[in-house]
Amino acid sequence: MERELKVKEDSIDSSGIKKDYKEAIIEYIWNGLDAGANRIDITYKKNSLDGIDSICISDNGSGIKYENLDNTFGAFLSSEKKVNSSYITTVHGSKGKGRFSFLGFANNCNWKTIYQLDDKKYKFSININAETPNKYYPSEKEEVNNEETGTIVTIYNINNLLQEQMESKELEESLLETFSWYLYLKKNENCKILLNGKEIKYSKFIDEKLTQDFVENINGEKFNIFFIHWKGNVKYKYYFHMLDENNNQKALQHTKFNNNAIGFAHSMFINSEYFNGFESLKCSKDELEEQINIDNKKNERDETYKELIKKLDVIVNKKYKEFIKEKSNILIKSFEEEKIFPEFTKDIYGKIRKKELENTVKEVYCAQPKIFKGASKEQKKIIVHFLDLLLNSDEREHILNIMENITKLSKEERESLSNVLTRTTLSCIVETIKMLDERNIVIENLKKLVFETAEFTNERNHIQKIMERNYWIFGEEYNLVTADKPFEKALSEYRYILEGYKSKREYEIENTEKKKRMDIFMCAKRPLDVYPNSSIKEENIILELKAPKVPIDKEIFQQIESYMEIIKNEPKFNSSLREWKFYAVSNQISDFIKDKYEENEAKGQPFLVKALRNYKIFIMTWDDVFKNFEHKHRFLYDKLIIDKEKLEKQFEEQEKSREGANNLTEEINKREVG
């Protein structure tokens, strides 16, 4: 049966139908979604030359009603679908052009559809060909049973379309760019679009970490709000999209962050019955008619709408802060990699100073992200080093003034930056006190272990385990290389840490003593720009830990000397740029060791018993270790109020036995002291 359109043939040719096959497929998908489908399948058949013979777009929507053909297929530049002034909506093809999209790249199109009327279902087909586009050919309808409603659109006699185009990433991304927001809104309805049998995933374009759903109730109206943060290239971002209950867009408004300078690409879709009768005061880009006064209907002047916008602004602002906070973490990481930050000491104080600077840089970035955008590495360094200088002077409050001169800060940004400058100072004090308090507990417990329970404390089960986690007692700047490992293994780990050697042959040591075990091996590599005048670029410490009841005598001294000889005679480790310090620690020392102290007294280094070029041996009692540590930190410990009585009471509760020594070791090692 032949029917004619109510339009001339040349009107179709000049109607602006696009020739891009991707746009045509998108139009037919919209037709299916507009018909209530929650599944769209796009498939194709190829010919013998790897060209495309036909494309099929099937859906499980409500189908096309035979009784309405004159108002659908019979009307061009018109449609029974509700005309919408927006340019992103689930109602597409509202001017009746979508069904002719195939004309841009093919000669024929066929529709097979099943629809329901009252309690019965019917099917029929429609054909349109490019030679007579002003005519369409529907078949007679016939009743069907046990078949689901839906439509299958088949485009055939296709011109110059290849298989690789139908399987291209470009086609998938075009579909995602258009439909990812819709698929997200319909995620709970199991809405799917399948391309060549594979479901396209909105998660490729949507950042689900920041994306979130909300529900707001305003003046008795319920609003389902969908905040979407994009990670793909979508056209329709930086808008509030107001949708009625059928997801027809009724109004459109820019968000306050319609700026992509920092990549905060977002959209908000608001679905509510409230918008069912909404008439926007704003015209779309392609509407030329003047705005009309429709104060008697719901529009942007409505108090509920105004309150909704306030709620949406709050949500976007909160999401922006989450986004910029995450970006600031990435910024800090990049600054680390680019070596933008100043060099800090490895001790706890250096760590706290670095943390304070990082927090300030983050807050400055959050207040004005553009401050580092486009800056060169040297410019970034200047800004960061300048902030560090101010933070470590009495002029830190000037950071706020400088920022306000560089860029206009909002009231909230000014308060936030002011708070962080105060907060980081307090945070440094609190963290320092907490760290020193924890370390004091470790020291007091260790004293108990080596003095009060010395009879039950041994090297491997107690002292060794504690020093593996608390080697800061001998120096903040060191890194643990190995604990209780043979020399050959320990020195191989050392070379790997400092120089990156991986070949086992590089680690081999030709020495009969290479199987001896180091208790603790630590190293520190000095940055050349921090110690420019020092001839020593690497410092290393080897600890020999003895049980408290074992005195350090001539035999142990000779054992340490043998360690020194291994290092001194090994070509891979005896560079004059490396300094090696050997320590032995116990509760008692023999007269032989005391004589060694006197022999080396003129060298001006406490506890030194032997020095040879860049090799030194030190013998200390545990009391020496504790006093030395306390002396280094007295200027801070004097400022702390530590409840000694409480600590003593805690120690008294520990039984003086092997079990008590085990408990003290466990208590010390659970402390997080850096």
| pLDDT for 79 | 47
Residue 211 confidence (pLDDT) above 70? yes
Q: Mean pLDDT over all residues of the chain? A: 79
User: Same domain for 250 and 362?
Assistant: no
| pLDDT for 227 | 95
**pLDDT range class, residue 293, cuts 50, 70, 90:** very low
Region 398-417 average pLDDT:
59
Three-class DSSP labels, 147-175: CCCEEEEEEEEECCCEHHHHCCHHHHHHH
Whether residue 424 is contained in a domain is answered as yes
* pLDDT tens readout for residues 270-290: 999 999 989 888 644 344 344
Whether residue 49 is contained in a domain is answered as yes
What are the CB-based long-range contacts (under 8 Å, 24+) for 15-19? 15/76, 15/77, 15/97, 15/100, 16/97, 17/97, 17/100, 17/101, 17/103, 17/104, 18/101, 18/104, 19/104, 19/105
Cα–Cα distance for residue pair 391/353, rounded to 1 Å: 9
* Maximum average pLDDT range among 295-304, 424-433, 616-625: 616-625
Cα–Cα distance for residue pair 127/135, rounded to 1 Å: 9
Token readout for 215 is 């529900």
| pLDDT for 312 | 95
User: Same domain for 185 and 216?
Assistant: no
| pLDDT for 599 | 93
| pLDDT for 171 | 93
**pLDDT range class, residue 258, cuts 50, 70, 90:** low
User: Same domain for 15 and 70?
Assistant: yes
User: Same domain for 135 and 261?
Assistant: no
User: Same domain for 226 and 332?
Assistant: no
* pLDDT tens readout for residues 156-178: 999 889 999 999 899 999 999 88
- As for how many domains the chain has, the answer is 4
Residue bearing the bigger pLDDT, 362 or 7: 362
Residue 14 confidence (pLDDT) above 50? no
Mention every residue, 6+ apart, whose C-beta is less than 8 A from residue 123: 112, 113, 114, 115, 141, 142, 144, 147
| pLDDT for 353 | 78
User: Same domain for 381 and 528?
Assistant: no
| pLDDT for 398 | 58
Whether residue 85 is contained in a domain is answered as yes
User: Same domain for 500 and 630?
Assistant: yes
Residue 255's domain comprises 206-281+299-320
**What predicted TM-score, i.e. pTM, was given to this entire model?**
0.57
User: Same domain for 187 and 228?
Assistant: no
Three-class DSSP labels, 345-413: CCCHHHHHHHHHHHHHHHHHHHHCHHHCCCCCHHHHHHHHHHHHHHHCCCCCCHHHHHHHHHCCCCHHH
* pLDDT tens readout for residues 480-503: 777 767 776 777 777 666 565 554
Sole residue written with tokens 């003129």: 602
| pLDDT for 368 | 73
Residue 210 confidence (pLDDT) above 80? yes
Cα–Cα distance for residue pair 297/278, rounded to 1 Å: 7
User: Same domain for 222 and 166?
Assistant: no
Residue 376 confidence (pLDDT) above 90? no
Whether residue 71 is contained in a domain is answered as yes
Residue 63 confidence (pLDDT) above 90? yes
| pLDDT for 543 | 87
* pLDDT tens readout for residues 436-456: 777 788 888 888 888 988 888
Query: Residue 70: what are its φ and ψ, rounded to 5°?
Result: -65, -25
- CA–CA distance from 287 to each of 80, 98, 653 (Å)? 19, 20, 85
Whether residue 664 is contained in a domain is answered as no
User: Same domain for 234 and 176?
Assistant: no
Whether residue 537 is contained in a domain is answered as yes
Region 251-259 average pLDDT:
81
**Domain end among 383, 400, 432:** 432
Residue 222 confidence (pLDDT) above 90? yes
Whether residue 35 is contained in a domain is answered as yes
User: Same domain for 276 and 351?
Assistant: no
* pLDDT tens readout for residues 519-550: 888 777 654 443 445 555 688 888 888 888 89
Residue bearing the bigger pLDDT, 347 or 647: 347
User: Same domain for 403 and 483?
Assistant: no
What CATH number is associated with residue 161?
3.30.565.10
**Domain end among 432, 462, 493:** 432
**Domain end among 199, 223, 244:** 199
The answer to whether residues 269 and 243 touch, using CB atoms and an 8 Å cutoff, is yes
Whether residue 289 is contained in a domain is answered as no
